[in-house]
Amino acid sequence: MNKTTALKSSRLATSSKKRALKRITLSLTSDEAQNLEKYCEQTGRSAIDVIRELIQALP
């Protein structure tokens, strides 16, 4: 394998790595679900994005 091929292969290997994801199920009261849906409608963001951002902001 020549140097150029080796460089291309290593870039592909690092760029195709995916983050490990864990699926969770969240139970909400109807009031909580309504609040989340209303917030999502007002901000134009998905519930997943809102919840993920809140989790990332935790200390």
- pLDDT digit string (tens) for 6-47? 555 545 555 556 789 899 999 999 999 999 999 999 999 999
Give the C-alpha distances (Å, rounded to integers) separating 5 from 8, 11, 13, 54. Answer: 5, 10, 12, 43
Asked if residues 40 and 34 have their Cβ atoms less than 8 Å apart, the reply is: no
Angle between helices 47-56 and 30-43 (to 10 degrees): 100
Better-scored residue on pLDDT, 3 or 21 = 21
Torsion of CA 17, 19, 23, 28, to 10 degrees: -140
**Per-residue model confidence (pLDDT) at position 19:** 80
Residue 27: its H or E element: none
The whole-number pLDDT of residue 50 equals 97
Query: What type of residue is 7?
Result: L
